[in-house]
Amino acid sequence: MDMSAMNKITYGLYVLTARCGSFSNGCIINTLAQVTSSPNRVSITVNKSNYTCYMIAQSGRFNVSMIDESAPFSLFTRFGFCTGRWEDKFLGHEIARSGNGIPYIPENTCAYLSGEVVSSVDLGTHIMFIADVTDAAVLSDKAPMTYAFYHANVKPKPKPAPQEDAPAGERWICNICGYIYEGHLPEDFICPLCKHGAADFSRLDQPAAAEDKPAGAAGDTAEEKWVCNVCGYIYEGALPEDFVCPICGVGADEFSRM
């Protein structure tokens, strides 16, 4: 089966936000759909590993900000490449609040809606929430961003090394944000996206030495390397079924074998 066929399904990209008590959080999703028009109901599907999923299950309410084509990559790194378990994703970011008290993103979004959960379906790794739309507003006339537009125009492309005599074939990936550098990686290199140094990069074109292999589950094999499809974090060794990405919080089902 060619799993790349799934990439041909048209998706939009959204910032899903929730509030539990006085704390607010958000994450990136690509599964929002209107399921009925009367009553006006939508469905969203969220990975159980996302803290936002837990908050919606507890509060029963959420907002969805519909990202438009003007959105920079920094919006995705903010809400998609880190976890709200350990940091405030809204710190330093402009927000507004809808009538339900939950933040939405007023910039780089063309509309938002508020939902109140009426039912949920456990899908194993994800939960689908069915919700009544309780509020909605159009914020701009800009086109909503699709998953295809994001990959073609927003997500950074690998860049060649600046050194003309850089060894061919070297490719390095930032373990924090997924940025890819091609060529010899300087010791003082700083990732242009997340500002982490060369120590947080891993070589893609050759297996890591056994002595450099991080500790993992018993029976790990040096040949195995897994990359998180959401944030680019790399795990070396046999990937446990219950593994949770330490960077963005998604589960093992969101990792691909390298």
Beta strands in 123-193 (DSSP E): 126-138, 171-174, 180-182
- Residues 157-184: tens digit of each pLDDT: 765 545 445 455 688 888 766 778 888 8
Tokens, residue 138: 């159009």
- Residue 24 vs residues 6, 19, 55, 231, 238: alpha-carbon distances, Å: 32, 4, 9, 21, 35
Predicted TM-score (pTM) of this structure: 0.65
Mean predicted confidence (pLDDT) in 91-120: 93
Cβ–Cβ < 8 Å for 56, 42:
no
Tracing tokens 């790794």 back to the chain, one arrives at 125
**Rounded mean pLDDT of the chain?**
81
Rounded (10°) CA dihedral 255, 154, 152, 195: -50
Closest listed residue to residue 129, CA positions, set 37, 243, 16, 12: 16
In tens, the pLDDT along 28-47 reads 999 999 999 899 999 999 98
Domains for the chain: give ranges and CATH numbers.
Answer: 3-152 (2.30.110.10)
Q: Which residue has the higher pLDDT, 83 or 127?
A: 127
The string of pLDDT tens digits covering residues 47-72 is 888 889 999 999 999 999 999 999 99
Residue 195 pLDDT more than 60? Answer: yes
Is 60 exceeded by the pLDDT of residue 218?
Answer: no
> How much of the chain is helix, strand and coil, in % rounded to 5?
15, 35, 50
Interacting residues of 245 by C-beta distance below 8 A, sequence separation 6+: 49, 228, 230, 231, 233, 251, 254, 255
pLDDT of residue 5: 67
